[in-house]
Every structure is written in C-alpha cells, then in structure tokens.
Structure 1
Amino acid sequence: MRRRPGGELRDRLRRRDPGYRLIRRAARLTVVASLTFYGCRYGLGSVTLATYALFATVATGSFAQLPGRAAVRARTLLAALPVAWALVAVGTVLAVNTAAAAAGMLVIGFAVAFAGVGGPRLVGLANALQLFYILACFPPYQPDTLPARLAGVTLGVALVALAEVTLWPDPAPVSFPQRLDAAAGGLADLLDALADVLVGRPGAAGAAARRHARAAQLLDQVRMSRLPVTARPTSAGRHDRAWRDAAAAAQEMLAVAESLASRPDVPGSGDPDLAGALRRCAAALRRSADRTVRRPGTPAAGGPEPATPPPSWRAAGPVRLRVDAAVRTLADQAGTYATAIGIATGPRGRRAARPVEAGADRFWYAGRSTWSLYRRQFRAHLTPRSVYLEGAVRLAVALSAARVIAGIVNLQHGFWVLLATLSLMRASASDTRTTLRPALVGTVAGGAAGGLLLLVSPERQAYAALLPLALVLAFGVGPLLGLGWAQALLTLLLIVVFAQLNPASWQLAGARVVDVAIGAVVGVLAGLLLWPRGSGAELCRNAGAYLAASGRAAERIAEAFAGTADARAAVTAARRAEALATASFVQYHGERHDPRLSHIDWDAVLAAAHRATYGGQALLADRRPGVLARWPGPAAALVAWAGRLRDGYAGLGRQVTRGRVDRPPAPTDPPGDVARQVHGMVRDGEDRPEVLALVEVDGWLGDLDAHLRRAGTAVPEEPPQPIRPPAVTNHSPVSQSDGPPTTR
C-alpha cells in the first residue's frame, strides 16, 4: 500500500526537525517580529524603533540558542537585557567614526565570544549579543536616538521572552540530570548482576554482560561530545561541577565493574558479604538517581555505608582479596556519586553524605563563591592553547576587519558585511571555505529574486504584506533545506524589511550580494591566517599534554600512598591540562574531521588520562596518604610501577602530540602478584586492614596499564559525526569547563 505524499512529507520533516522545534521557533518569531515591526513602523511611525525592535526579536529569537525549558530560556533573555542595553549604548557612541567602531568591535567581539567559557547560557547568547553592538556601531551617528534604540531592544526582547512561554512552547528537552539518572539506573542493574556472579548464580554471567552493554550505552549518552551544546553542564558554578563529578564517578564505577567482570576467576569467588555490599551500592545509586530528577518523596541522597573489609578477609585467598578491593572501590565511588548529587541538587554549600576525608578533596568547590569559581574557570582558558581563546580572537579580528572595510568603502548597508561574517565563519578554515559556495550561491539567488521583486512592485505596502511570509521562509523553511536556501531566504527577508524602512530600488539586492561576499571572504581569510586547522592541532597538543600530566599525577599519587610525596600539585596540574584537552575534544566534534587524525581513538586517549587522574584521586581521597609506608617493600615496587606507567603515558603523549600513534606503548612490567603477596603477609600474622590498600593500588595501576594499551592500539571503526550548528547561525566555540570528561 502506497503512502500518501503528505505522510512522507511529515516523516521527512520529523527527521529534519525532531519535535518541530524549528517550526515552533519560526512561528513564534513570525508573530513577535510582525507585531513589533508593524506597530513601531506603521503604528508609531518610527523607523529607529522598528529597526531595533525587529533586530532584537531576530537576534534573541533566532541567533540565541539557549538551554533548558521555555521558562528558563525566557528568564535568561530578560537577565541579558541590561547587557544588550550596554552594547547598544556603546555601539551608538562609538559609531562616531570607523576607527572607534572597529576598535570597539575588536574588544567587544573578543569579550562576548570568550564569555562562552562560562557555560552554555553564555555560549547561546554570544551571537545575539554581538548583533546588538554590530547594529548600533554603524552610521548614521545619532546619539540622540539612543532612547528609541533602547526602547526597541527592550520591546523586542521582552516579547520574545513572553512568546517563549505562551506561544507553542517547545517540549522540555532531555536534560543532563535525566540522562545521568538513566545511566545510574543501568549501573545499579549491573552491580546487582555482578552480585549474582560473585555468588555463582546460574546464568548470572550472561545477564551481567547484557547489563554491562546497556550501562555502557547509557553512560555514553552523558559524554560531553555526545550532547548538544546547550545540554552540557559546563558552567563554572558548583551545581554543574557537581554534575560533572557525578558523571565521572559513574564512569569510574563502570571501569571498575568492567575490570571485575572480565576476570575469569571471579564467578563464584565471593560470599554473601561481598554480594550484599554490591547490592547496597546498587541501592545507593538508585536513591541518588531518584534525587537527581527530584522524584516526589525522595529522601536525601546517601551513599552506602563506608567500605570496610568484612571479618572474613583474613581468611581470604588472593582472588577474594582482588574482588574485595574492587568492591570497596565501587562502594567508595558510589559514595562519591551520592555526595556529588547532593551538591548538584542542594543549595549553596556542601551537602555531603559523608565527612571530608583526608587527602585530596574532590569537592573543593562546594563552599566556594560563584564569583571565585567563574574567575578560576576563565583564568584556566587564558592561554594560547585554549580553543576558546583562539575562537574568540579569530572572530574578533574578523569582525573588526569587516567593520574597517565597511567603513572605508562606505558601503550602503555595512551591517550586512558583519552579519555575513558572524553567520558564515566556522572554527576551521576548511569548514569556513565549505560554507562559502552555498552561501554565495544562495545570496545571489535571493538577491536576484529580491531585485526582481523591487522592479515589479516598488510600493511599500506590498512588502508590508509579504513580511510574515518572508519571516516564515527565512527562519522556518531555510534552515530545514540547508545553508544555500537559508541564505537565499534570509536575503529576501532583509530586502523585504529594508524596503519598508527607507526608499529602495533594485540596487538594494546588489548591495546585499556584495556585502555577503565581502563578509564571507573576510571570514575565510581570518580562518586561513588564525589557527586554520581549527581544534585539530590543539587537540593533539592538549591531549598529549594531558596524558603526560596524568602520568605524572599517577606517579605522585602512588608516592603519596607510600608517604614520600604530596600529590596535590600534580593532580591540580593534570586537571588544568584536562580543561584544555576536553575543550579541544568537544570542539573537534563540531568540525569537519582531519583525516590525518581519524586513526586515533580520542575517547580511549582521554579515558586513559581520566582514569589516571580521577581514579587515583578517588583512592587518595578515601585512603590516608602514607597508608602504605608500613610495608616499604611492596610500596616501593608499586611506586616503581607507577614510574614506568608515567614513562608510558609520556611516550604515548608525545605520539599523540605529533598526531600519529604508530608505536604501541611498551609493557610496564607489574611487580608480581601483589594480592598473593598480601595473602602471604596475612597468613604470616598481618592483621591490619590497611594492608588491603596494596591490592587496591595494584588494581588501579593494572587498570591504567590496560587503558594505556587500549589508547595506543585501538582505532575507531567509524569517526564520530560532528554536531552541526543551524544553517543561519554560527555558534561560538562549544563550551567545556575544567570539569572531568565523561569518557570511557
């Protein structure tokens, strides 16, 4: 039975526009823009008021890409209104001459773009805020019109905020807490299955394998590179930092559970005590997951009881000691997860389910002021190796150069030059060049259609009638059809608008084509001259530096356990390196991939570095520094192994920096069977439970060795697909803070 054409069209529309978000946004934008423009231009007879009201509507309704529910987006727009006033005022004053306007563009362009470091809301507002200054900094120089300009901006932004919550509001997106809730549920199911494996229940191994695959799939959905820009918890505030720490703890639990399940000697090796500990971890995860999405009647998030060895540990063999160490690590990570959830869902201050332990405190930010957290995050990215800094400099230079050209050439509508640069510029030269051809073809087509329209019907009334249709086509149909169509329909919309603001002729269409061509060429040249490879080159450098720093941190952590070093400085350095590496990694997913880098498994590379830093830091937070000093022989052997791992991490880091991993890391030679050595000590009379920390550190270092080999040999079957921005807008660099990467 053949399907109706209408059904096929609806299916294609659902695929291109899930949830009809673009259609909803275009409908809201059409209603608000039509009301503001008609009311100001024809009702009040003010060209200035109409111009700024319309462009405030377009900037916040189309160029702004904000996270959260409709009410949250509306509050964000209203909160940004004072910033928009300031930018319009500064632009109005600096429009006195080209030099002042271009200098202001350089400073403001950088500041607004670099502000995206602070989180997804600032990223989503960046392009809209740029437009407020761009529009105001062009002639005519009329400071006396500032009140009308500010009134128009206020009207446009306020009506867009109102429309967000009253006119066809978008369905609430799947939030990061909801994704994390599902992942925690999958982990809890996996731990229950592992408990059955430990006691030797028939069929438990198959169930554990299936649940492991499901948990890994769910945790993959909370990786930053898999999330839309607006869904990433990347702000500097304590809540988003806690969400990231919760995700990191979940990834650590998956890594330990995977290591435990992969051992052939594990099935039937446990007893009811260990199985019960795993089930308590699973229950704690479910309680925390309920609090994550604030289900009614959910008690305060709490982890399992502190992981203490059962009395039977003194009679355990080597296999049982390894399993016991893994179970205690899982319990510790479940407590870390619960603590992070308590901070993320609670008010200011620490809401920990357990007291602060000795050693490195993962939740150092819980009691810090918001201002200090943001200052720290911005300072971390004030380096030439930050993709945020590079992107902000590239965009600011391009916009400032475009403003100089528009002023010197005295273009009729120089604003369009900067609009084209802002819309078409991408993070790499190859991506920007790719946008050039369809953008120019679309602009020429739209200009030809607009010029023909101006020749056939020059009356203003005709364009007033066409405005709603032009808005729907530009912001609803264009982005669905691609960049060329988007530019063509946007060109047609601008001609329809400007034909009502001032007397116009067919030359208006030609001016639009010339302006877009100049703006696009400026963007291409800026991309060629300023970091033309985009984030690919920085990803190599920063990921290599992160591997080296993580190897050093692992060695210092092992020395801290032995009581011979303080690991805090090394851990801090590794986290700084991580901030740059993960930002580059996430940015890389939004660009055209460099084929020379496609053979490197970047997920495995960052996971190896993450396991070294965060796995070791978690152990150090729950085990007193110097705990292994009582057994200097085994402790020294573990420190020596950590030193060899440091060399392996550094060697792999050098290869990654060159952009080619062609030599697998050499074996690191573990120091014998530590669990068997501990078993011998216990048999000889050692009865202090702290001796089990030797097995835990040994297990962690062995896992680092496995991660190092995987990062040095694995090749992804298929490179991840980039997340492309909408056709008309160009997002600022995707935001990633100094939190942990959620990679496996």
Structure 2
Amino acid sequence: MLGTSLLGRLRRRDPGDVVLRRAARLTLVASAVFYACRYGADSPMLATYGLFGVVAAGSFAQLPGPAPQRARILVTSLPAVWALIAAGSLLAWSTWAAAGGMLIIGFVVAFAGVGNPRLVGLASAFQLFYILASFPPYQPDTLPERLGGVTLAVVLLAVAEVVLWPDPVPVTYRQRLAEAADGVAAFLDATANALTHPNGGPDTRRERAYEAVAELALARNPPAWAPTAAGARDRALRICAAALRDVLAEADRLAADAPPEPIPDLAAARLLRSCADTTRAAGRSLSAGAPPVDLGEVDAAIGRAEAVYPVGEGGRDAPDVPRLCRDATALALADQVRVLAVGTRVANGSRLDDEDAYSGLFEYARHGPWTLYWRQFHSHLAPRSAHLHSSLRLAVALAVARVAAGVLQLIHGFWVLLATLTVLRTSAAETRTALRPAVLGTIAGAVVSGGLMLVIQEPIVYAIALPFTLMLAFGVGRLLGPVWQQALFTVLLTFVFAQLAPEGWRLAEARLVDVVLGAVIGVLAGVAMWPRGASRDLRRTAARYLGASADAVEQTVEAVLGGPPPDHALDRVRQRTILVDSSYCQYHSERHDAPSRRVDWDDVLGAGHHAVLGAESLLRRNPPGCLAGWPAAAALLRDSAGELRSAYGDLADEVAHGRPSGPVPVPADCVDELDRIRPVLGEVGSQSSVRHLVEVDRWLASLADSLARIRPPADGEPVSRDRT
C-alpha cells in the first residue's frame, strides 16, 4: 500500500513522467560515464569530472528549447567549460588566487545571462565547473584527464537528450502568438460585421481573443520559452505581442462605437476585414517553413481608407466627427496590424526595407546580435539594475565561501560553494526559504549515509547501488520536495566518494559541516546585499518607465502643436524598457512582496509599449506642426495630456510605494469626442485639421483606456464601457 501510495503521489506531481524520464536519462549517462572512467580506465580523476559533468550539465543547467536545441547548446558550450576548468586548475595553487578567480568568473558568468535570460540556467553549471577545478590538489598535469572526463559526459548527455526519451515539446511562444493572431483576426471580422450589421454581436469571439492574447504574458510562459533575449528575433516577438494587444483594444473600441443603424459600405469595416486577413496571415507565417506575410494587402487597404478619409476644405456641412473617429480608430488599428506583420518578418529573419523600419521601432533589426547584446549589457551597468545586483551578490558570496573553505582547509571544500550556490537566491526572503530544506535535508542525508558506512564498508556495494541513488536523487527527490532532494543528493555524493576516496562515516560528517558553512555564507550574503531582490527594483524601475512614457505622450502632443519631434523621449522609453523587462523576468523567480502583488505588471508594461507604438503611428499621419496655429485645439489637447500625465504619475507612485493613487481619466468614445470637439470646430476651415484633432484626441483617449484597464476608475466615476 505504501509503495502504491508513493507511486500515485509521484505521478500526480509529474504529469507525463517528464521528471522521471529525465532522471532515467541522467542515471544511464552518469552510470555509464562513472563506471567506464572509474573501473574501465581506472582513473578516479576521469570519473570525478565525468560524473560531475553529468550532474552540472544535466541537473544544475536548465536549458531552453526542444531536445535537439538543448543538445546543440551542450556541445557548443564545451569551449567555455574547458576554459573554466583550465582556469580553476591553474588557480588552485593559492586560496586567494582561486577566490579572486571565483569573484571575477562568478560575476561574468552570472551577468552574461542579461543578454539572454533563458540561458541563465547555464550559469550554475558553468560556476560548478570552475568550483570543482579550483580546489586542491594543485595538479595542472591532470588537466587532460579533467577535460576528457567532462567532454565525455557532455557529449554523451547531448546524444541522450535526443535519443533517450526526449522531453515532449510544450507549446512555444510562436505557437501562442499564432493562436492569438488567429483569435484577434476572428474578432476583427466580427467587429466589421457589427459595424455594418449592428444586430450581430461579436461577444463570443471577443472573449476568445482576449483569452488568447492573455496567454502571451511572459508570466504565463516558461522562462525557457519566453522571448526575453536581446536578439532581434525575440525583440520582434515581444513587439508582435504588444501590437496584438493594441489591435485588440482598438477593435474593442470600434465594436463599442458601432453605429446604431446599419452602414453597408462603411470604410472602417472594409479596412477591418483586410486587417483580419493580414493578422491571420502574420500568425501563420510564424510556423516553420511558412512564407513571410505579404504587406501589400494591408498597405493597399490603408491607402484606400486614407483616400476616402475627408481631407478637403470645409464647406457648409459640419464635419462628421463620429465617422472621423471610427475611421481614425480603424487606421490606428491598421497601423498596429502592419507593425505585427513587420514584426513577424523580423522574427523570421527577413531583411527590412526602408519603408518597413517604422522610424525607430525596428531600428535594432539593422544591427548584428553582438551589437544588440552589448546594448543590453550597457543598459544593465546601472546602479539600479536588479541583474547587476544579483550577479554581484552571487560573485561575492562564492568568493567568500572559497576563502573560508581554503583557510579552514576543508577536505571537500567545494561542497561549501555548492551549498552557497544552492541556497543563495535573488532576495533575502527566498534565501531564507531555501535554507531550511538545505540544512534539514543534509542532516537527514548525513545521518543515513553515516549509518550505512558504519555497517557497509565494501566499495562494491556502493558501486552496485549507485544507479538507484542516482535515480532517487535526480527523480524521486525532485518530486517529493526540496528536503528530500537535498537528503538524497547527500546520500548520492557519499556513495560516489565511497568509491573514489573511501573515508568511512567521516565523509558524511564533512558533508554536513560544509553544507552548513556554505548555507550560512549564502544567507549572510542574501541579507546584507540588496536583500529585497527584484521586487523593489522592479517597482522603482517601472515607476521611472511610466514617467518616461508620460514625457513621450506630452512631447508627442507638443510636436503636433508645432514643437520638436519627440524622438529623444521615445528613445528613453525604449531604453528603460530593457531594464524593466529584465527586472520583470527576474521578479517571477522570486517570492513577491505585498506591494508588488497588487500590481498588474503585464498591463503596466503594456502602457509604455502602447505609448511608443501609438506615438509613432500617430506622427506618420499627423506630422509635427499639423495643428499649429489653432489655440482652442491646443488648449483642449494640452488639458487632456496634462490629465494623462497626472494619471501616469499617480500610477508610478502607486507602483513604487504601493499607495492608492488618484482617479484615472475616463476613456472617451466617439460620442464623447463629438461633445469635446464641437465647441472648437467653428475656429477652423479645414476638415484635414479636424481630422488631425480627432486622431490626436482619440489617441489620448486610447491611452486613458489602457490606464483604466490597469486601475479601474474610483467608485462613483462613470465608466464608458465594459472592459475585459
């Protein structure tokens, strides 16, 4: 009964047996490498580095992608592994030299992940390779054996990743993006029908579209699959997701502003149908082997819509402001559809023409990957970078642990650093959480190991039992929880060293002392150095990001009123997007504090994306100075921009300090636009000026709409329409 109950518990925690299959794969590779090196080649050095190569690359490293991609990463990482082992072997002659190398390598390896957070999982494995080699005995002549053992382990593990029970491939971000594009396209078709036939409601497709787009949030995607790298393709995927959110929001505004009577030949409806086709094609182009989306259809549709857009001189008839508002919304939506289409082309590696650059939006696609990574690194060399804090904390803790292990002349001092690496987290709260299972598990494992070694002293017994302990440590322990995992890993290390350098029950004692020392160093570093982790940095960085977005909005309004273009303001938003995105990714690996849990981070980050994408779209059809010389319009727009700036500032204050903020500007629909604009229409004789006014005012209303989705209006305030 006990065995049946345990098996059922394991299956519930491991749907599809993913963890157990991976454990079986690692067990076979580790056993083959260890037996071949220890007993076949009769080389404890080969066996040590072979086994720890499997443990580091197979258990400590969290690799992204499907099995073939993980195998390629393992093989291509070998030169870096060789360099780390060589550096550790040559610096092992002195405790201080090894500690200095640990400080530098610990920081560089951890900070290198800023260019591609999905590869941060390699950092622990790389550090472990240096740690293992940097301890006595100082034997540089054994470097070929060390490199040979690790190479054998990594190559066999790469082969096993592809051949032995490969992990099932989860839904990729590209697939989620394609599904969301298909859902949004269906909603666009439904919205077009609602404009021409108001009785046909698109509610069902609306809900599906919102659900599909919600799946694009980084928090809902595994870190190994989320597009968080600095490269052009990942950046393009993030822009595609932001563009889809904006398309959906604009379509929702159009659906809510449907005319009360059918308009069979409405220009906005025709444009929406073309946008639906392009959106659907853009999503499909993300599939492997699919042709790139053709921009010709959406460009032609935008051209036709602009051709029937009222631009002539005003006459006796008053401007049809509701129609202008609907057409402006449809054109803004079409611009975001084009951004989506261009983004999918960049994500697929296509080269961009000049007309595809969309000002600075896809400027990065013209640069090589090393330039983009350098920009990412440079952006994070800032005092408030959460990634910089985390890298420095880890490097200092590992260096201190290396000094302590060397000064105390611990026989298995690398266990001290291994414990520090295991316990230390990006926040003090997470470090304290990891401390308890590490210590309790090690105590339990040491007691069991010591008892076994007092009773059984024949190495052959431990050789026979090694595969079972490997399976328990890699599979069962991981499923049962951190305490079990640490206890079974302690038993595994005891069984391994009983065959490499038999020391009896004192080996278990040494393991316990080393782990406790390493855990204490990890906790002290976690408490002393930036203990709040990414949560506080994220709130502070997001507040600055929102402030930059508010500046961009104000300067865009000033530009259409005759001021200079807002290029520098938009560049500042893009620059701060790098920091806030990185902090956001790290934030999801931590325990969240109360103020951070109250924030809808996806919508907060979306507010900045919406400001940048919308500003560039707006200025393409409403060039700087298009509303110069119209004082009444200037007063109206500056008033709206001032309200938005206050709302951005209040939201930034709420994000930074967790305090309630003031009321949010209520988004306006087309009827509200008519009421706002009617008093100033008598001062202008050009319908093109009216069109520009409607477009700018509509853009400001859409920004207020995005803020309302983050923080609903206070009690008693009117809400223009329901939002999901």
Which whole-Å CA distance do the structure 2 matches of 1:498 and 1:50 have between them?
Answer: 10
* Cα offsets for 1:62-83 (capped at 9, x unmatched): 1111111111111111111100
Sort the Cα spacing of 1:648 and 1:62 in 2 relative to 1 into closer, same or farther, 3 A: same
Match of 2:344 in 1: 341
Which whole-Å CA distance do the structure 2 matches of 1:598 and 1:411 have between them?
Answer: 43
Q: Classify the secondary structure of the residue corresponding to 1:606.
A: helix
Unaligned runs of 5+ residues in structure 1 are 716-743
Which whole-Å CA distance do the structure 2 matches of 1:651 and 1:225 have between them?
Answer: 25
Sort the Cα spacing of 1:447 and 1:10 in 2 relative to 1 into closer, same or farther, 3 A: closer
Match of 1:275 among 262, 269, 276: 269
TM-score (normalised: structure 2): 0.91
Amino acid at match of 2:47: A
Q: Are 2:287 and 1:288 aligned?
A: no
1:723-734 correspondence to structure 2 within 5 Å: none
* Cα offsets for 1:290-314 (capped at 9, x unmatched): 1111365676566612524366544
Asked if 2 retains the 8 angstrom alpha-carbon contact of 1:451 and 1:506, the reply is: yes
Q: Which moved more, 1:603-612 or 1:221-230?
A: 603-612
Match of 2:718 in 1: none
Sort the Cα spacing of 1:366 and 1:609 in 2 relative to 1 into closer, same or farther, 3 A: closer
Asked if 2 retains the 8 angstrom alpha-carbon contact of 1:93 and 1:143, the reply is: yes
Q: Classify the secondary structure of the residue corresponding to 1:305.
A: helix
Asked if 1 retains the 8 angstrom alpha-carbon contact of 2:230 and 2:372, the reply is: yes
1:431-580 correspondence to structure 2 within 5 Å: 431-580=430-579
Sort the Cα spacing of 1:533 and 1:285 in 2 relative to 1 into closer, same or farther, 3 A: same
* Cα offsets for 1:186-226 (capped at 9, x unmatched): 10011011011101253x22xx2222222121112111122
Match of 2:30 in 1: 33
Amino acid at match of 2:61: A
1:370-409 correspondence to structure 2 within 5 Å: 370-409=369-408
Asked if 2 retains the 8 angstrom alpha-carbon contact of 1:237 and 1:370, the reply is: yes
Deviation at 1:579, TM superposition (A): 2.1
Which whole-Å CA distance do the structure 2 matches of 1:135 and 1:267 have between them?
Answer: 76
Which whole-Å CA distance do the structure 2 matches of 1:668 and 1:213 have between them?
Answer: 21
Amino acid at match of 1:337: L
Amino acid at match of 1:693: H
Q: Classify the secondary structure of the residue corresponding to 2:298.
A: coil
Match of 1:181 among 178, 182, 185: 178
1:98-247 correspondence to structure 2 within 5 Å: 98-202=95-199, 204-205=200-201, 208-247=202-241
TM-score (normalised: structure 1): 0.89
Unaligned runs of 5+ residues in structure 2 are 311-316, 715-723
Match of 1:720 in 2: none
Q: Are 2:628 and 1:626 aligned?
A: no
Deviation at 1:13, TM superposition (A): 4.2
Deviation at 1:599, TM superposition (A): 3.1
Q: Classify the secondary structure of the residue corresponding to 1:171.
A: coil
Amino acid at match of 1:329: A
Match of 1:60 in 2: 57
Q: Are 2:602 and 1:599 aligned?
A: no
Deviation at 1:288, TM superposition (A): 1.0
Match of 1:721 in 2: none
Asked if 1 retains the 8 angstrom alpha-carbon contact of 2:33 and 2:152, the reply is: yes
Asked if 2 retains the 8 angstrom alpha-carbon contact of 1:250 and 1:333, the reply is: yes
Amino acid at match of 1:434: T
Sort the Cα spacing of 1:671 and 1:194 in 2 relative to 1 into closer, same or farther, 3 A: closer
Sort the Cα spacing of 1:501 and 1:286 in 2 relative to 1 into closer, same or farther, 3 A: same
Asked if 2 retains the 8 angstrom alpha-carbon contact of 1:119 and 1:236, the reply is: yes
Which whole-Å CA distance do the structure 2 matches of 1:668 and 1:459 have between them?
Answer: 78
* Cα offsets for 1:390-411 (capped at 9, x unmatched): 1111111111111111111111
Match of 1:330 in 2: 333
Which whole-Å CA distance do the structure 2 matches of 1:637 and 1:323 have between them?
Answer: 20
Asked if 2 retains the 8 angstrom alpha-carbon contact of 1:303 and 1:334, the reply is: no
Which whole-Å CA distance do the structure 2 matches of 1:267 and 1:402 have between them?
Answer: 75
Which whole-Å CA distance do the structure 2 matches of 1:668 and 1:328 have between them?
Answer: 19
Deviation at 1:596, TM superposition (A): 4.0
Sort the Cα spacing of 1:464 and 1:489 in 2 relative to 1 into closer, same or farther, 3 A: same
Which whole-Å CA distance do the structure 2 matches of 1:281 and 1:670 have between them?
Answer: 22
Sort the Cα spacing of 1:700 and 1:684 in 2 relative to 1 into closer, same or farther, 3 A: closer
Amino acid at match of 1:200: H
Q: Which moved more, 1:599-608 or 1:433-442?
A: 599-608
Amino acid at match of 1:245: I
Sort the Cα spacing of 1:582 and 1:497 in 2 relative to 1 into closer, same or farther, 3 A: same
Asked if 2 retains the 8 angstrom alpha-carbon contact of 1:544 and 1:656, the reply is: yes
Percent of paired sites with the same residue: 48
Q: Classify the secondary structure of the residue corresponding to 2:365.
A: coil
Q: Which moved more, 1:562-571 or 1:316-325?
A: 316-325
Match of 2:72 in 1: 75
CA-atom RMSD, angstroms? 2.8
Asked if 1 retains the 8 angstrom alpha-carbon contact of 2:118 and 2:223, the reply is: no
Which whole-Å CA distance do the structure 1 matches of 2:218 and 2:514 have between them?
Answer: 37
Match of 2:248 in 1: 254
Asked if 2 retains the 8 angstrom alpha-carbon contact of 1:95 and 1:140, the reply is: yes
Deviation at 1:257, TM superposition (A): 1.9
Match of 1:648 in 2: 647
Deviation at 1:532, TM superposition (A): 1.1
Deviation at 1:624, TM superposition (A): 3.5
Deviation at 1:373, TM superposition (A): 0.7
Asked if 2 retains the 8 angstrom alpha-carbon contact of 1:424 and 1:432, the reply is: yes
* Cα offsets for 1:23-63 (capped at 9, x unmatched): 22111111111111100110001111111111111111111
Asked if 2 retains the 8 angstrom alpha-carbon contact of 1:678 and 1:695, the reply is: no
Q: Which moved more, 1:371-380 or 1:434-443?
A: 434-443
* Cα offsets for 1:332-354 (capped at 9, x unmatched): 1111111010111134x3268x5
Amino acid at match of 2:427: S
Asked if 1 retains the 8 angstrom alpha-carbon contact of 2:63 and 2:118, the reply is: yes
Which whole-Å CA distance do the structure 1 matches of 2:668 and 2:163 have between them?
Answer: 65
Which whole-Å CA distance do the structure 1 matches of 2:235 and 2:246 have between them?
Answer: 16
* Cα offsets for 1:162-201 (capped at 9, x unmatched): 1111111112221111110011011001101101110125
Q: Are 2:343 and 1:321 aligned?
A: no
Amino acid at match of 1:141: Y
Asked if 1 retains the 8 angstrom alpha-carbon contact of 2:477 and 2:484, the reply is: yes
Sort the Cα spacing of 1:679 and 1:153 in 2 relative to 1 into closer, same or farther, 3 A: farther
Amino acid at match of 1:102: A
Deviation at 1:607, TM superposition (A): 3.1
Sort the Cα spacing of 1:619 and 1:543 in 2 relative to 1 into closer, same or farther, 3 A: same
Match of 1:722 in 2: none
Match of 1:92 among 89, 94, 107: 89
Sort the Cα spacing of 1:270 and 1:10 in 2 relative to 1 into closer, same or farther, 3 A: farther
Deviation at 1:432, TM superposition (A): 1.2
Amino acid at match of 2:347: A
Q: Which moved more, 1:165-174 or 1:582-591?
A: 582-591
Match of 1:658 in 2: 657
Which whole-Å CA distance do the structure 1 matches of 2:665 and 2:581 have between them?
Answer: 26
Asked if 2 retains the 8 angstrom alpha-carbon contact of 1:635 and 1:694, the reply is: no
Match of 1:612 in 2: 611
Q: Which moved more, 1:214-223 or 1:259-268?
A: 259-268
Which whole-Å CA distance do the structure 2 matches of 1:684 and 1:563 have between them?
Answer: 16
Sort the Cα spacing of 1:714 and 1:29 in 2 relative to 1 into closer, same or farther, 3 A: farther
Which whole-Å CA distance do the structure 2 matches of 1:268 and 1:533 have between them?
Answer: 57
Sort the Cα spacing of 1:670 and 1:166 in 2 relative to 1 into closer, same or farther, 3 A: closer
Amino acid at match of 1:394: R
Deviation at 1:706, TM superposition (A): 3.1
Sort the Cα spacing of 1:329 and 1:252 in 2 relative to 1 into closer, same or farther, 3 A: same
Sort the Cα spacing of 1:617 and 1:661 in 2 relative to 1 into closer, same or farther, 3 A: farther
Higher relative contact order, structure no. (Cα contacts within 8 Å, ≥ 6 residues apart)? 1
